Structure 1
């Protein structure tokens, strides 16, 4: 498995050195260049770990950490010349997992990166306890809110994940609208009839992005059926 590291650093020389060092050890890297689309790049790259400075354009590292933490549980390590106790406390309170002060030792930094990756994705990590449903290569991760087929992954909204969860558990069987409403919304009385239709369209769109067009079928008057067409195209 090739781990992906998202590097948020505005010192171009340090950025280049850090990127080359990590690539030397087999990591795939993404270096932020345009801070106006940092979160767009973050979502697209889907890193396993983030290296994050504090003093940055647009927002400081604390704010970026908070925004990334809202959409991901991946390890975040601050690397900064600001070495006060308060800076380190703030980093941890905003959701970071570790703090390395500049100037830093590359070997120690590498060891910390590997340590956090083992904890997050190793055999004794919380990942082994994540709620993951897999059917012949189609993988739904209910904690990370992702759907993966082959090498492609799409992000899901919580309700989209719930729909897929129910359909994958009853693969090739009809799931009624009432079942979906009962399992997804606590109080059906406040759910507009068209709301489910909107989410079904969104789920189909996510499946289409994975080239699984037609996998979620409408059974008129009864409900929906997820057909495992991916078994035919493995």
Structure 2
């Protein structure tokens, strides 16, 4: 069992007893948990919580989970797992068509929930590529072919070197990437980059990410290199 991890889970469930049960389970596995409180403003609450995964009930007050999943999809690629007593094929299809990543019917086995949660986290945050030309990490979406980065419905353009720097850091998330490794990556295309130029490029990436709303995304390890957590 993992006793500590960085992932925040947003639980949208109006059954308070079940929501508390899910919360205790996730905390036991080391996740940070936020339980929905304002059911007529799920999107606003989602944007404030900034979760890495959403567990979404379907039958909730005001608007159903399908509605909120679609609204979230308009602004974010965060993984969404439905948790619902509605178990017909049509419900599952509707859930997927509205942007869901998985569907778990109630009552469910806790081990199955954890397995599904771990699977969507691996796909979204621990594997480098979601698609051949898209890189994702903690809500940041990097389009490699377009040379752009997007977060929280904002978008910026990246230069070739900025893209290479960000890509290498994301591919090695949680690990220190040395300045030498970054310069070797930039050297591949026969573009010479000295240490001062590298510093300038990293700072430009930082500034662009901050403009998207990602503060302190890149950490400097003095005398060693850079990393993202």
TM-score, length basis structure 2? 0.61
CA change 1:119–1:205 in 2 (3 A) is closer
Give the C-alpha shift of residue 206 in structure 1. 3.5
Rg larger in 1 or in 2?
1
Q: Distance in 2 between matches of 1:12 and 1:112?
A: 22
Q: Alignment partner of 1:35: what SS? A: coil
Deviations 1:23-71 (A, max 9, x none): 1100111111012332122112221111101111111011001011111
1 or 2, which has the higher helix percentage? Answer: 1
Structure 1 unmatched ranges of 5 or more: 133-139, 147-154, 171-202, 212-229
1:206 to 208, 211, 224: 211
Give the C-alpha shift of residue 127 in structure 1. 8.0
Give the C-alpha shift of residue 81 in structure 1. 0.5
Give the C-alpha shift of residue 123 in structure 1. 3.3
Kindly indicate whether residue 55 of structure 2 is the aligned counterpart of residue 51 of structure 1.
yes
Deviations 1:114-142 (A, max 9, x none): 1111112123542896458xxxxxxx754
Aligned match of 2:169 = none
Aligned match of 2:42 = 38
Aligned match of 1:145 = 150
Q: Distance in 2 between matches of 1:85 and 1:157?
A: 35
Give the C-alpha shift of residue 208 in structure 1. 9.4
CA change 1:5–1:127 in 2 (3 A) is farther
Paired residues, what number?
Answer: 164
CA change 1:26–1:204 in 2 (3 A) is closer
Structure 2 unmatched ranges of 5 or more: 144-148, 164-207
Q: Distance in 2 between matches of 1:18 and 1:29?
A: 9
Kindly indicate whether residue 92 of structure 2 is the aligned counterpart of residue 88 of structure 1.
yes
